[in-house]
Structure 1
């Protein structure tokens, strides 16, 4: 395999692109489909490199797009016969001399943990977030707090008002927002932008009373209840957390429960 393939794949990883690598792991002798051949497939169906071309390759691209959508790598078995019906793929097929096995490996950027506010609770949240595999971005408008020295593990530290930083960011279904600012007005401004976004988790630090004040203000601005109900406030699971580290555990446990679509109930009660 050409060095160019690996340099291209590395660049895609650095750019945080989502793609799949299709690798031929079994092919009958005499076939044009060569063991070890690799191809890059993107969610829109575009490709780079080849695993043999023709109808066979078109079938590989089709199933790779389905696997990309589900996000789980797997081995598939595809018919080599160019006369097979277009798009016919038998994933459960038994390997034969008329088929080839292809490993479809999914690569996608890590989810982003967006930490708005760089106070004392943010410190363990950032550390634990990195331990859990998140790309962590910290935002704070205070020069003393928003520094790489204070958050050496963070992937990015932004010195800015949260509202301005959010306007410049791409908010995606893989972004999890944790609001830990020192001023409810900053929280409120951040929520205006986060609520209509596709982010699956918006957590707000503070008491129920604080959340009520913010929500009432947003209601007066015309924000609908459906959007306000998206906010996890107070943030975190009820585990009796007291210290910053314990609070970080409760926050990230809640984030993970949303990420994986779980109830956060004790396993012994499920």
Structure 2
């Protein structure tokens, strides 16, 4: 969101701005699809398309092109394998293609629409072609869609808005830390608790939405789906068990419970006695979070975020660490 706000500020200042977008990448390329950088007439730079000597060279090129009366739109392949044609000067292997679009005050409405989409928690599609930059309310099935037939015949579409939503059940201190970190990671964060006037919930300025609910009806507030993540961390064992029993048969991308191994062992035994199956319990991440001996709320948040990211990205090819 910060990128789009800074871009809008420059356009409203009547500056020409080059937006560089990575529209394709392979291998260990430092720039991945969707990476963006803006280069303004006043030399202001924000964002990244991969860094290093490649990025420095692309920025210099954009700055020179901004001096031209008709700054062109084009794509540029960067191959990270030393002294080859279209070489980037980097040796990290892989390659990427960067689109250069020069935006002016005429594009203000497009940028405003993107910002409104993000600020309102909505979804849409940013579309780039050799001649246009546009935004629509169309929903993409995937994060990106693109095709490059030639330098004059290509398109790139990017999902705008939140795809993943984290539902935090429990508005205590850990919930605050988890909210803050997951918002930074691009998740839409909704936090729920059954205690009215809870200080940590009321003062949580990170979550996009805060709700006081009856845990008996928790399933009404946590929709199923491949983009729904659930972190159960209420203030007591009985509420953790109640919430899990209401959600366990639903389909989520990720669902976990915070707690000690002894507490969770007791919960699992009770749930099995109540008729839940071992197969249903097996998909629950418990204790939630990667085992990194975390102790503080912030450390616990890091362990949960790392595990959620691992689940989210497990279908991607591992080309970086």
Q: Fold match, TM over 0.5?
A: yes
For residues 15 and 123 of structure 1, what CA distance do their matches in structure 2 show?
A: 21
Alpha-carbon distance, 1:177 to partner? 0.8
Other-structure match for 1:20: 125
In the alignment, the residues of structure 1 paired with residue 264 and residue 127 of structure 2 have an alpha-carbon distance, to the nearest angstrom, of 48
Is the 2:232–2:258 Cα contact (8 Å) retained in structure 1? yes
Residues 123 and 37 (structure 1 numbering): CA distance in 2 closer, same or farther, change over 3 Å? closer
Q: Please tell me whether the aligned partners of residues 256 and 286 of structure 2 are also in contact (alpha carbons under 8 angstroms).
A: yes
Q: Distance in 1 between matches of 2:257 and 2:304?
A: 10
What is the aligned partner in structure 1 of residue 59 from structure 2? none
Using structure 2 for the length normalisation, give the TM-score.
0.56
8 A contact 2:126–2:133 mirrored in 1: no
User: CA shift at 1:189, angstroms?
Assistant: 2.0
Match in the other structure for 1:118: 171
Q: Which one has more relative contact order, counting CA pairs under 8 Å at least 6 apart? A: 1
1:140 Cα offset (Å): 1.0
CA separation in 2, counterparts of 1:40 and 1:120? 39
**Distance in 2 separating the partners of 1:261 and 1:142:** 36
Q: Which moved more, 1:9-18 or 1:134-143?
A: 9-18
Residue correspondences, number: 213
Segments of structure 2 that go 5 or more residues without pairing to the other structure are 1-105
- What is the CA–CA distance in structure 2 between the aligned matches of 1:131 and 1:172, rounded to whole Å? 22
Given that 2:113 and 2:135 are in contact with CA atoms closer than 8 Å, whether structure 1 keeps it comes out as: no
C-alpha contact 1:124 1:248 (8 A) present in aligned 2: yes
Please give the alpha-carbon distance, in whole angstroms, between the structure 1 residues aligned to 2:246 and 2:284: 12
Q: Which moved more, 1:154-163 or 1:254-263?
A: 254-263
1:133 aligned residue: 186
After the TM superposition, which residues 19-98 of structure 1 pair with which residues of structure 2 at under 5 Å, given as runs?
19-25=124-130, 35-36=131-132, 38=134, 40=136, 42=138, 68-74=140-146, 76=147, 91=148, 93-95=149-151
Partners of 1:126 and 1:153 within 8 A in 2: yes
Instruction: Determine helix, strand or coil for the equivalent of 1:187.
Output: helix
SS of the aligned residue for 1:70 comes to coil
CA contact (8 A) 1:167 1:193 kept: no
What residue ranges of structure 1 are gaps of 5+ in the alignment? Answer: 26-34, 44-67, 77-90
Q: Is the 8 A contact 2:218 2:246 kept in 1?
A: no
Query: Quick check: 1:163–1:186 contact (8 Å CA) kept in 2?
Result: no
Deviations 1:219-243 (A, max 9, x none): 2332222211111111211111122
| Structure 1 outlier segments of 4+, above 6 Å | 1-11
Following the alignment from structure 1 to structure 2, what is the Cα–Cα distance between the partners of residues 150 and 37? Answer: 39
Structure 2 residue 155 is matched with structure 1 residue 102 = yes
- The CA RMSD measured in Å over matched residues stands at 3.2
Q: Is the 8 A contact 1:111 1:175 kept in 2?
A: yes
**Map of 1:1-270 to 2, 5 A cutoff?**
16-25=121-130, 35-36=131-132, 38=134, 40=136, 42=138, 68-74=140-146, 76=147, 91=148, 93-95=149-151, 100-145=153-198, 149-261=202-314
